[in-house]
Structure 1
Amino acid sequence: MRKITFLLLIGILFFSLLQAQVGINTQNPKAALEIISEGSTSATQALSVRNTSNTEILSLRDHGYLGLGVTNPDIRLDLRNGANNAIIGIGNSNQTAAAAGAGSLKYDTGSQALYLSDGTVWNKLSAYLIRTYVVADIINTSQSFPDNASTTVMNWRKKEDLLGTFNAATGIFTAPRTGTYTISVIATFDNGAVGTNSYMQMELVSPVATVKCQSTYYDAATFQTSVLCSGSFQLIAGQTLRSVISHNMGSLKYLKAGYCNLSILEN
């Protein structure tokens, strides 16, 4: 009977503790858990959390600075622990800028951009991006262009490609991100016979649009022919762009080295 009474008292005491407020270094806690630290400067530590490897993963100093993986934080929230994992994830919000308050930050998943509140409106933060810029020419003229056939221009020589978005061997450009891209291409066939009422046509081809440019020749002769074509394309990241040549001059044609140039610019 005495054992049952003792267990009952322990149970009542435990239940009471669960319902009560808990204070550390204070007898009158004002919250469910209140901790009073022993200092008020950066010299002393209010809270430390370590993992099983005895690595400190959280440090709260007595002046209110919090470090995640940082023992002595220098700012209100410090993640700079020297490891390559100090990233802050910022999410979206449907709060107004006024409700969030000036200085608030959010990430809009729709526009894929960061926004900063000035207390009145959300302002999109701009960042300097390295924009796509491609310049290429042709010095390898081994590719042939048959009569009455459409052939993608290949074997380019890259002179500039800031983001590595242009495959010179295949002549295919791949958009690194969604945006508007302007391409300009001039191609010249080597000196040769040109038939009456013949043409040299270039197409700039993307999955969503094609721009066609054509040079027409009414009289038969022997000379160099060329075509210049340019256009702007709204591309989704991963979509491609290429230049295609066709002609009806009656014989196999080859490009002229040094007379063929390509440029692509992200707007």
Structure 2
Amino acid sequence: MKKYILSILSFIPFIVYSQIGIGTQAPQQLVHIDAAKNNNNADPSGTPEESDDVVITNKGMIGVGTITPKTRLDLRGEGNKNAIGIGITNQTASAANIGAIQYYNDGTEWGISYSNGTNWVKSPSSPVKALVYAGKSTAQTFYSGTASNVIDWVELVDRTNSFEPSTGVFTAPRDGVYIVSFNIVTVANNINNNSNTETILTSTATEGVREFRCVNAYPGYNTGTANNRTGNNCTAIFKLKTGETIRPNFLQNFNSSASSTSNQIDNSITITQL
């Protein structure tokens, strides 16, 4: 009996101080898994071979892709495959307890939220801000004395899918301040004395200025008429709420119809959320 007891006692230190290696005969931590078996039974620290290793230290820290974890769970290994996947949970925040995190997607918003022990709190994030750039490559006729919506745009950039090119209407995707620049050029036409054009930006804003009018005047006095193109621009800043709109308009009083050019460089609209 004494011999058996001595044999067991002599084996205990080996169990306590040994390291477990899976796929390697040279484990570097308490538990060391070399998934690809590519360490060649050597220390893989700082080499590409470390990227497929998983370890558990004698302090209870887990390393994935690194054999020297500095936190409870450390994925900061070599290479660019260190992402961590977080899913959606149906647990309540109180059941998950303080500090738990989850991915959320409610159909309109998505991101990371954390539990404060009572509620899931969405982490602040910067939403994609609206940016629109469109040109107009088809001529449009404008009749004297009548303000007309400028339509049939060619959409080149629209980050938030907020601009309708067929109508020229922009719909604010969220509350914010928007700066708008609108350019339109008319083809050569007779311009009577004391004529003018108005490049107009109008909105459905419930706060601030709703409409901006930028005027080009042609005070010819007794010089007769001129046959020329007109270049027109208006830049304005709007404070919009979600769902409020902006649209470009043009007015001329040449006492005859006038048409825009069909050049996208001449005719453009830019909308930027600040």
TM-score range, shorter chain: 0.5 to 0.7
Note if 1:157 corresponds to 2:162.
no
Deviations 1:160-218 (A, max 9, x none): 11111100000100011111111100111111111111001011111131011011111
Note if 1:254 corresponds to 2:255.
no
Deviations 1:10-47 (A, max 9, x none): xxxxxxxxxxxxxxxxxxxxxxxxxxxxxxxxxxxxxx
Deviations 1:78-122 (A, max 9, x none): x83xxxx636788xxxxxxxxxxx9799xxxxxx9x999xxxxxx
Looking at structure 1, the residues matched to 176 and 91 of structure 2 have their Cα atoms a distance apart, in angstroms, of: 27
Looking at structure 2, the residues matched to 210 and 150 of structure 1 have their Cα atoms a distance apart, in angstroms, of: 13
* Correspondence for 2:136: 138
Work out whether residues 192 and 224 of structure 1, in 8 Å CA contact, stay in contact via their aligned partners in 2. Answer: yes
- Report the 3-state secondary structure (helix = DSSP H, G, I; strand = E; otherwise coil) of the residue aligned with 1:264: strand
Aligned-residue sequence identity (percent) comes to: 23
241, 258, 264: which one pairs with 1:236? 241
Looking at structure 2, the residues matched to 218 and 175 of structure 1 have their Cα atoms a distance apart, in angstroms, of: 38
195, 199, 203: which one pairs with 1:202? 199
Structure 1 residue 126 displacement after superposition: 3.8
- Report the 3-state secondary structure (helix = DSSP H, G, I; strand = E; otherwise coil) of the residue aligned with 1:176: coil
Structure 1 residue 125 displacement after superposition: 5.4
178, 181, 186: which one pairs with 1:184? 181
Work out whether residues 136 and 261 of structure 1, in 8 Å CA contact, stay in contact via their aligned partners in 2. Answer: yes
Runs ≥4 in structure 1, deviation > 2 angstroms? 85-90, 102-105
Structure 1 unaligned blocks of 5 or more: 1-74, 91-101, 106-111, 117-123
Counterpart amino acid of residue 129 in structure 2: R
**1:42-191 residue pairs with structure 2 within 5 A?**
80=87, 86=89, 126-141=124-139, 143-191=140-188
TM-score normalized by structure 2? 0.54
* Correspondence for 2:82: none
Looking at structure 2, the residues matched to 226 and 204 of structure 1 have their Cα atoms a distance apart, in angstroms, of: 16
- Report the 3-state secondary structure (helix = DSSP H, G, I; strand = E; otherwise coil) of the residue aligned with 2:187: coil
- Report the 3-state secondary structure (helix = DSSP H, G, I; strand = E; otherwise coil) of the residue aligned with 2:212: strand
- Report the 3-state secondary structure (helix = DSSP H, G, I; strand = E; otherwise coil) of the residue aligned with 1:227: strand
Work out whether residues 200 and 226 of structure 1, in 8 Å CA contact, stay in contact via their aligned partners in 2. Answer: no
CA distance 1:127–1:89, shift in 2 (3 Å): farther
* Correspondence for 1:215: 216
- Report the 3-state secondary structure (helix = DSSP H, G, I; strand = E; otherwise coil) of the residue aligned with 1:193: strand
Structure 2 unaligned blocks of 5 or more: 1-72, 74-85, 102-108, 115-121
Looking at structure 2, the residues matched to 236 and 243 of structure 1 have their Cα atoms a distance apart, in angstroms, of: 18
Work out whether residues 213 and 228 of structure 1, in 8 Å CA contact, stay in contact via their aligned partners in 2. Answer: yes
Counterpart amino acid of residue 270 in structure 2: S
TM-score normalized by structure 1? 0.55
Counterpart amino acid of residue 188 in structure 2: N
Note if 1:245 corresponds to 2:250.
yes
CA distance 1:234–1:217, shift in 2 (3 Å): same
Looking at structure 2, the residues matched to 88 and 223 of structure 1 have their Cα atoms a distance apart, in angstroms, of: 70
In the alignment of these two chains, the number of paired residues is 166
Looking at structure 2, the residues matched to 254 and 247 of structure 1 have their Cα atoms a distance apart, in angstroms, of: 10
Supply the RMSD in Å over aligned alpha carbons: 3.4
Counterpart amino acid of residue 128 in structure 1: S
